[in-house]
Structure 1
């Protein structure tokens, strides 16, 4: 499925109608389309405009968007990632339920319109587009703009949505084009002034000319806006206001204005105007209505004379304001389409769909070969991580069972169905910790008192370690360590995975795993990766936690393990073997080790995309990669970064994490027969939750493939 994110370049560009028109235009090409509004436009309680019309006119079964107040609260509290995950959850629901459950081929997502009250909207729209893995359709307006201003506006907007690899832009649509527009001249000047337009990176998808008929209010809409007293409803629900006639002149001077769609605004004492309007109506002219000002009305004799008109299909209303003030209010009525005016919005959507050129776009979206490589954004990674963990339904032991962060994380995992967590701790102690944080222990959370079960594991530990001369008293002493106890439970198959490290060192977590779990078939070492949640995509760093100075053979194993881990979590592996030089530009023992490791991987796993040695910038920046390693399938596009030693890897991951504000999920251990994962002692509750999810997913993999 492809996602098109429809975003405004400024305020009042006709965003909602354009998004709906684009969806209809794609439907006409036979594409299965789903429409989606991620976040509500206003704080109003009524259904969002575009959502309402999508349900009514596109027959979409879409859920309500996230309330604007909820989104703003999450943004203000620094919970942007949680907001993005909520959006992705909604998007997947919409796409899955589209076309009667057949699923959507294209998801059209409408961003937030820009206004004076939501200065954050532009940044939020860019984040939404990125995390939805969308291509952006920019919507702009020619109203009050010259070519130079428009070119600058589109260029700036394109920079905000373009991804680092140059992708992310689907095209642009121009609204409110003057009828007398010199179209060819405009395009020529735009291309002269804008590189993104001249290159074709941002193609024109449509120019929508002004159409006054699409802005015509119903007489009923006018009555509602002015809070008018309706004296005679008539056909107010269907007649539309095409002109306003304010009676300042005599009837002979204004009679020619009494045409179809005219709203006649007059004080009640202008008997001549009232009679003229009545005659026009009775002669067959469908006036929009008669509006009395200053709380007035005609004299009884005039009312009787004109009753045939005033009590018929002619709408008649009355307001308290004078004629001048009333005319001023009428001139400022907005163009928002009321929810019950389906006919007007239907015409608007069709009008836009007729003028949007999506044939090339629609063909590409339908016939494009299946996507085999994704730039997996952070929120999509987290969403898929949680969904896969839920499907796995694994039992994960947490030896640090009375550690406050661990207790909170276990409660969250059980409540959200991420994993079946088992805490090794005193139940009374866990309950005390939970109550101290204002939490309630859910029924599904298992708690085992270690003192009550250690004895039953002594014989099993002796059996596993008998070759090392382990005796029963020695085993009993080792089992005093909850990490050893939890690891033995994993070795015996009583649990599916283990997570520790919130208060223990990496050595405390890994040593029992190496002794009791051992490496998986085909793996000689245990290594680790961090999933680095960069702004645009998730990258894999290995090894940044376990092996101090791997040799070429070990470095090759780390690369293969890391590639398998990346693939298991939806990331297409492009492996960069990092060094201080690129290609043949450097020499020395460290460079030769990287060259040898790269050669070993190519020989043993020719299916993997790998290159090295590469400097970090050559591996990660497209322009640098093209210059330093032209023709490389990895340079500038790497997703898996293999560091030559622990010093480099650990320093780099922490520098990126702290200086760039990047979330690092892990370390996730690789190469073990069963999943054991280590936490940083500075881990947050969210870090523990995601590590538990990683562990649950690892437990579903074949032992030979366990990360």
Structure 2
């Protein structure tokens, strides 16, 4: 029988979408086929999106194949009519039939309870309880804590639990959402120790409640005069009304505010955008009233001053406009993915996700989907939080990835670059990134530790969203220290302290030395730098790990129903038999570290003893070395790709092999073959290629493709953080400088 989880509230205003999103995240970590069912929904206002946008968000984020219509039982108005004409049993029977239609196609179904918003349904809580029982679903009850004191919220939690249990429901947990910090939050958590079911409390988060510029534009029917998609996705934290003279007006501006001013006040428009351009403070946008438009010269200047910053216009005056937006609150929608990341960070910080997953009683799928693999990466990185340095501090994709990583509490980050340039870039992109200098203390947070030397400390445990450190290699006092270290390491190459000072001013070298000196646990670069520029400093400074013959790389190839590991597709042009064996052993270890059971295929154009030649002999010799060095590993070679991954071909070519037909780690004989194969599979099979992930270094440094997407960067940073968890604090840096055994030739081929 399909397992289902019913998320149900007891009234309006509980922000239940955060919980629904969090539960969907937990389910998709465990199960391949997760469906969504809404017993009742408001009629779509346009297209297939539902009224509150949550289904569209789930469908977009979790790649659901369901349409809104297919996932919905019936519309509220039809349900109210059926209830009035034929009674509750007829309504429940109809909805139960629709539920089973959905459930047949999925392993687990997330049921989104009714929203209590103009539904015209009496006894709505009892209807949700009845449906949960009929579906055989456990109930996750949600109560609203917004604007209430401790006693009131505690009473609501008790009442919600009693209401559902008294109606025969299996209550999985109760979650109080939008709870006030302090005594109220503590009181709800203390209640959890008194009840048989877990009780969780999520605090109110102003950023989640903040409407986006796009939401304001939609609410007012405003015309968008200027602004791109990222600008329209900015959160509005406050409204500032422009009526005073410019000097007075500028003092009223606040970070993330939207300026509302008559359209003929061109001085305020230009002044506000100039302040935004300077990063003091960054604005959400401007809303012009009275149907007035600035002249063409002012509009052109506005475009140059703050490209992407929204400029909206409405015909109404400032007062009715302010009234219309005063009570507007943020929504989780597919058009606001940044809010989804913030919501998930909030959920994962304040809910014991491991305990809740166990209570959901979901059996993990045998298959590993790309989404499950990505979830596992994030979870592992978060479990033992590390510090990662990102040298490309002004690169848009890097900054967007940094925002996601911090909102999801994946790791601590240091961005390298000129601080004013980074702040301006963050302002232009409208990102919710707090930026701190190297010595600037973070605001006290629950579970936070004091910063360490030079401000590069690590938190004892995840807390709320953190800020990124910003360090400028050109002016940092660390530059002198790093120059001394680099000159000592490269003295045998004739590097003087003066030359070293110039070299370590480069962001890639500076970041690498941060890792070497323990001020960061890993580095990720390459979105705007070549492979050589990223990994050469690692070869010179960090060097190979004891026992590793060379530095090599793997890609995690996330196919529809499994994850394969390809090596080496980015570093070594033409490894000999010994190096190929080392690549295979390292790749197997990397696969195992990330949850892929290693079954190693040493690829060639020949399978078994069917062919001969120098290339085949190299692979045959490498296979023998792997078996000699690691007799515990399952390895087969030489073997062709089809025999390695397709059981029917393996049954013909290598019957009885423990690897053929089910290989998970595929080792290519040379860079030309590996690089072209991974790109062919990526493009033709729609696989998600995560990497290249470097292996063999003492401390983790990873390269990005210059075409990397934001999610690629997020995944690579998470992998780097997990790799850093395996590095012993007293790791011996021994060995000769520049000891990595990969030649410079061919390193660009991995791009």
Which among 35, 38, 41 is matched to residue 42 of structure 1?
38
TM-score by length of 2: 0.49
2:422 to 391, 416, 430: 430
Where does residue 612 of structure 1 map in the other structure? 637
- Whether contact under 8 Å (1:373, 1:571) holds in the other structure is no
The Cα of 1:491 is off from its aligned counterpart by 1.0
Q: How does 1:544-555 map to 2 (within 5 A)?
A: 544-555=569-580
Alpha-carbon separation, structure 2, partners of 1:423 and 1:348 = 46
Separation in structure 2 between the aligned mates of residue 437 and residue 343 of structure 1, nearest angstrom:
44
How far, CA to CA, are the matches of 1:471 and 1:705 in structure 2? 24
Separation in 1, partners of 2:732, 2:480: 34
Paired with 2:516 and 2:583, the residues of 1 have a C-alpha distance of: 23
Change (3 A) 1:68 1:503: same
Instruction: State how far apart, in whole Å, the 2-side matches of 1:45 and 1:705 are.
Output: 61
Distance of 1:395 and 1:671 partners within structure 2: 20
Aligned match for 2:384, one of 366, 372, 392 = 392
Counterpart in the other structure of 2:202: none
CA deviation after TM superposition for structure 1 residue 74, in Å:
5.0
Q: How do residues 8-19 of structure 1 correspond to structure 2 at under 5 angstroms? A: none
CA distance in 2, matches of 1:645, 1:605: 22
Map of 2:512 onto structure 1: 487
Q: 1:340 to 1:505 in 2, by over 3 A?
A: closer
Which residue number corresponds to residue 497 of structure 2? 472
1:390 Cα offset (Å): 0.7
Distance 2:136 2:591 in 1: 49
Cα distance, 1:681 vs structure 2 = 0.4
Instruction: Quote the residue 1:568 is aligned against.
Output: 593
2: CA distance between counterparts of 1:465 and 1:580?
42
SS in structure 2 opposite 1:673? coil
- Kindly state the Cα deviation for residue 119 of structure 1 after the two structures are TM-superposed: 9.1
Change (3 A) 1:587 1:45: same
Please state how far the C-alpha of 1:662 moved relative to its aligned partner.
1.1
SS in 2 for 1:499: strand
| Length, aligned pairs only | 405
- Relative distance call for 1:501 and 1:222 in structure 2 (3 A) is closer
**1:266 aligned partner:** none
Counterpart-to-counterpart distance in 2, 1:629 and 1:607 = 20
Alignment of 1:315-464 (within 5 A): 345=134, 375-442=367-434, 443-453=466-476, 454-464=479-489
| Post-superposition CA distance 1:226-268 (Å, at most 9, x none) | 179xxxxxxx999x99xxxxxxxxxxxxxxxxxxxxxxxxxxx
Inter-CA distance 340–619: structure 2 relative to 1 (3 Å threshold): closer
- 1:641 maps to 666
Distance 2:487 2:633 in 1: 42
**Partner SS, residue 41 of structure 1:** strand
Asked if the contact 1:375–1:571 (Cα under 8 Å) also holds between the matched residues in 2, the reply is no
Gap regions ≥5 residues in structure 2? 5-29, 43-49, 74-79, 94-125, 139-362, 435-465, 734-739, 741-751
CA contact (8 A) 2:556 2:690 kept: yes
Note if contact 1:43-1:68 (Cα within 8 Å) is conserved in structure 2. no
The answer to whether the Cα contact below 8 Å between 1:390 and 1:418 also exists between their aligned partners in 2 is yes
Look up the match of 1:70.
Answer: 54
CA contact (8 A) 2:550 2:579 kept: yes
Report the Cα offset of residue 490 of structure 1. Answer: 1.0
Secondary structure, counterpart of 2:388 in structure 1: strand
Once the two structures are TM-superposed, the CA of residue 506 in structure 1 deviates from its matched residue by: 0.8
Shift of 1:632: 0.5
Q: CA deviation at 1:401?
A: 1.3
Shift of 1:686: 0.7
Pairwise CA distance, 1:429:
0.9
Q: 2:452 matched to 1:500?
A: no
1:375, CA displacement in angstroms?
A: 3.9
What SS does the aligned partner of 1:562 have?
helix
* Equivalent residues of 1:376, 1:570 under 8 A apart: no
CA distance in 2, matches of 1:602, 1:539: 21
Measured after TM superposition, the shift of residue 431 of structure 1 is 1.2
Q: Are the aligned partners of 1:668 and 1:677 in contact in 2 as well (CA < 8 Å)?
A: yes
CA RMSD of aligned residues (A): 4.0
Structure 1 distance, partners of 2:619, 2:495, is 40
Using the alignment, how far apart are the partners of 2:33 and 2:365 within structure 1? 26
Cα pair 1:425 1:449 within 8 Å, conserved: yes
Q: Deviations over 1:1-34 (max 9, x none)?
A: xxx7579xxxxxxxxxxxxxxxxxxxxxxxxxx9
**Cα-to-partner distance string for 1:647-671 (whole Å, 9 max, x where unaligned):** 0000000011111111100000000
Match of 1:558 in 2: 583
Aligned match for 2:550, one of 506, 525, 530: 525
Task: List per-residue Cα deviations over 1:402-455 (Å, max 9, x = no partner).
Answer: 111111111211111111010011121111111211112235211112111223
TM-score normalised according to structure 1 size: 0.52
Alpha-carbon spacing, 1:393–1:347, altered in 2? closer, same or farther (3 Å): closer
